[in-house]
Each structure stands twice: as C-alpha cells, then as structure tokens.
Structure 1
Amino acid sequence: MGTVANPAPLGLAGFGMTTILLNVCNAGFLPLNSSVLAMGLAFGGFAQFCAGMLEYPKGNTFGFTAFASYGAFWIALVMLIFLPKFGLIAPASPAGMAVFLGLWGVFTAFMFVGTLKANRVLQFIFGSLIVLFALLAVAEATGNTAITRFAGFEGLFCGAAALYLAMAEVLEAQFGHAVLPVGAPAPTPMVTTSMRVAA
C-alpha cells in the first residue's frame, strides 16, 4: 500500500483562509459579502469537513473531531445568514448568536487541551480561537461594535497561523523534512521499567 496523504493541510487551509476573510470584514476593512459566504460554505465548510472524514480512517480522533466540527460550524454560520433571507426562519437574536458563539468557545477550550502535546503553532491557533469566540460572543451580547473590530484583528492572527501551519505541513511533505518552523514539542523521554518475576 502506498503512502497515504495527510488531510490536515487541507483542513487547516480551509479554516485559515475562511477565518482571515471573515475577520477582514469584522475588522471593518470590507462589509460582509458573498465572497465570505461562498468561501465559508465551500472551503471552510465542505472541504474542511471532508478533511475531517479523511482523518477518521487514519485513527486521528483529534483531527477528525476538529476538522469535521469546524467544517460544520462554517456551514451552520452560512445557514444562519441564508435561512432568514429565504423566509424559512426568523433571524437569530443577538442573545442567540452570543450563546451560539459561546458554546463554540467552550468546545474550543476543551480541544485546546488536546493541543498541549502538539506543536506550538497549533496551540496558538486554538488558544487564539478561544479568545476570538469569546470576543465575538461578548460583542453580540452587548452590541459593542468596537469589540467586533478588535475581534477581527485578533481573528486575522488566528487564521494566518492556521494557513501558516497548513503550508508548513505541505512543504514538509514535498521536501521530506521540515521547512517552516512550527515549534515542535520536545520528544517524550523513554521510560524503562523492570518487572521482577518471582521464582
């Protein structure tokens, strides 16, 4: 059997590029537009969800859960915008959006614990994503646009880190060695134990 491709760069790129695009709007550089929704549905949503499914046969529980979940998040976010426009359901209230974003922040906090054995860039992605969800939830709850703007700038760093890690993994696969530093954790020392067998 040949080498199996690593789906993580696809998921990271989908997450990173969509996060950057959305937060360009949150930061006030552009209004929310169809480019964000299209990217969120196709790349951040569908492609990232597919990356999660491809992690499943590899036995990567963390990758499967993360990519499938955040892919579903982007699809849900697009649906939150589209469904009211078709008259299928009332728009989410600010309180509803605050709870929605807050729950994703809690989920991300649990997932962050799983990154503590991974590289530093992945830790930064999840750590900054917790902050991003918290800021956006507070902005929705209070209606404070200044917080949304600040969250946009913070989200740009989060998305850029994810895109950086995606490219680092692609280049490593292409060249057969690390090209971009990601702050790999120190290897766990081998622990030897001896077991005395009674005669």
Structure 2
Amino acid sequence: MHIDPNPLAHAASNNDLRLPAFGGEFQPGLYRPPQRKIANPAPLGLSCFALTTFILSIINIGARGVHHPNIVVAAALAYGGLVQLLAGMWEFVAGNTFGATALSSYGGFWISFGIILTPGGFHIVETLEAKGPDQFYNSFGFFLIAWFIFTTMLTILTLRSTLAFFLLFFLLDIAFACLAAGYFNYDAKGPNESCIKAGGYFGIIASFLAWYNAFAGMADDSNSFFTVPVMHFPWSEKGRERQAAIRNDMENGAPNRAMKTE
C-alpha cells in the first residue's frame, strides 16, 4: 500500500479544495482580488469646501454685525480641513488626479487657515503684529495671493469640463484676489473693508456653486426625483458627444419619426 508523504497531495488536482484565504486578497499574485466599486468622493470634498467657505464669507461681509472669524476655526480644522483632505486622498484611489490635487490642497488650505487664526495656539498673528501691523497684513496677503495663483491654475484646467465647475473656480479665484488686495491695502483700521466685503460676496457665490456641483454629483435615480444640469462646454468631451448625438438624430431620427407618424 502506497502512502503519499504529502498530506495535501490530493488537493493539488482539486481546485475546489484550494480556497483562497480571505476571498483571495490574502494571497496577492495567486488570485485576482475582487473588484470594488468606489463611491465618488468629490461631493463630500465639495460640501466641505462649500460650508467652510460660506461661514467665512458671511463673516467677511459683516453679516449680523459679526466681524471676527474665530468661529470658523473649528470648521476649518475639522470639516473643511480634515474631512476634505480625506476626500482628496480617496480621489487618488478613484484615479482622479485633478480632484485629488484640488481637494487635498484646499483641505490643507483650511487646516493652515485654522492654524493661523487659532487664538493663543500658535501665536502666529500675535508674533507678527508685535513687529508692526504691516507684518501680519502683508504676510497674510502673500498667503492669499499664493492661493490665488494656485486657483488660477486649476481654473484653466476646468475649461474642458462644465460651466458650473468652471464658475466655481473662477469666482473662487476672484474671491482670493479681492481678499489679498484687502490685506495689501490696509489702513489704520485694518484691511480694506470694501475689498474684504467683495471677497466675501464672491466667496458666498462660490460656496453655493460648490454645493450645486456636490448635489449634481450625488443626485441620481436612486435618491432623487430630479437631477440638475451642469452645462457641459460644447468643446468638452461630453459636449462633443452630445453634439454628435444631436447630429445623428437630425440625420437619422427625423426620417424615422416621419415614417412612424405616417
């Protein structure tokens, strides 16, 4: 009687017995891992940006007599900062380079903004103001103008997307420019009030556009009775596809409809 020294030899010819551990993921290279469907992280990141921008912007216009942005620190660090940064990281997983760069960067913007304004935490404002008010105003102007340059770059990259997406970055860019101008053109009372208010109004519009784009990214047949238009540019990929479809309908659809009518 022959006894095989390998107790698992009978499994070598039986694929049913060679079950992959943990669904195949524990043995990479031997088994193909199961395909996962990743949710779209962009609406989350846009919502984070919209809410935090809205709070800061209504303070910048002096709504209800509020002029100090201390309350925005919590939203800037937690929601606009941390959660938006996480959404940006998931955009990397989804393969969206633009979304990953934009959301992660603006998440970093809000975290750094919160750090600057944290009362007594990092003493950034106090240290600069101790050397003269111009030190803080000009330094913060440099900070804002740098984000204006970055946002300009992103705005150029939205010209082949949708009108709603382009307007979001375009108006945000104007808001950064107005705020930077306000801090550069300071006086004895502080930053230029007209420029800061203008930046606040543009920021409010940009925040609603961010919410609009977030809603457009979430609304579908599973959760909404309607969808909202995002208005693809005619030169964008989607726009060209739509124009081609319209031409096909005009060339082929009209005769068919006429035949059905007759």
> Fold-level match, TM-score > 0.5?
yes
Tell me which residue corresponds to 2:16: none
Tell me which residue corresponds to 2:137: 94
Taking a change above 3 Å as real, the CA distance of residues 178 and 118 of structure 1, as seen in their structure-2 partners, is farther
Larger deviation: 97-106 or 176-185? 176-185
Larger deviation: 50-59 or 179-188? 179-188
Tell me which residue corresponds to 1:160: 208
- Aligned residue among 38, 54, 76 for 2:112: 76
Percent identity of equivalent pairs: 33
| In structure 1, distance between residues paired with 2:222 and 2:71 | 30
TM-score by length of 1: 0.87
**Shift of residue 116 of structure 1?**
1.0
Larger deviation: 13-22 or 143-152? 143-152
| In structure 2, distance between residues paired with 1:75 and 1:55 | 19
**1:47 equivalenced with 2:83 (yes/no):** yes
Larger deviation: 129-138 or 1-10? 1-10
- Aligned residue among 165, 168, 172 for 2:220: 172
Taking a change above 3 Å as real, the CA distance of residues 120 and 146 of structure 1, as seen in their structure-2 partners, is same
Asked whether the 8 Å contact 1:22–1:32 carries over to 2, the reply is: no
> Which whole-Å deviations, capped at 9, do the CAs of 1:84-110 have from their partners, x for residues lacking one?
623644246100111110010000001
**Shift of residue 164 of structure 1?**
1.2
Asked whether the 8 Å contact 2:49–2:210 carries over to 1, the reply is: yes
Tell me which residue corresponds to 1:22: 56
- Aligned residue among 11, 22, 37 for 2:73: 37
| In structure 1, distance between residues paired with 2:122 and 2:94 | 42
- Counterpart residue type for residue 91 of structure 2: E
TM-score by length of 2: 0.67
Asked whether the 8 Å contact 1:94–1:140 carries over to 2, the reply is: yes
Equivalent pairs counted in the alignment come to 189
- Point out the structure with max Rg over C-alpha: 2
- Counterpart residue type for residue 164 of structure 2: V
Asked whether the 8 Å contact 1:119–1:182 carries over to 2, the reply is: yes
Where relative contact order (Cα < 8 A, 6+ residues apart) is larger, the structure is 1
| In structure 1, distance between residues paired with 2:197 and 2:68 | 13
- Counterpart residue type for residue 90 of structure 2: L
RMSD, aligned α-carbons = 2.0
- Counterpart residue type for residue 142 of structure 2: V
Partner secondary structure for residue 93 of structure 1: helix
> Which whole-Å deviations, capped at 9, do the CAs of 1:110-160 have from their partners, x for residues lacking one?
111111111111100100011011000000001211211121111100111
| In structure 2, distance between residues paired with 1:36 and 1:87 | 16
Asked whether the 8 Å contact 1:19–1:156 carries over to 2, the reply is: yes
Asked whether the 8 Å contact 2:81–2:108 carries over to 1, the reply is: yes
- Counterpart residue type for residue 157 of structure 2: G
Asked whether the 8 Å contact 1:9–1:166 carries over to 2, the reply is: yes
Tell me which residue corresponds to 1:112: 155
Asked whether the 8 Å contact 2:56–2:69 carries over to 1, the reply is: no
Tell me which residue corresponds to 1:103: 146
**1:61 equivalenced with 2:97 (yes/no):** yes
Runs of 4+ in 1 over 2 A off after TM superposition: 30-35, 86-89, 172-178, 184-190
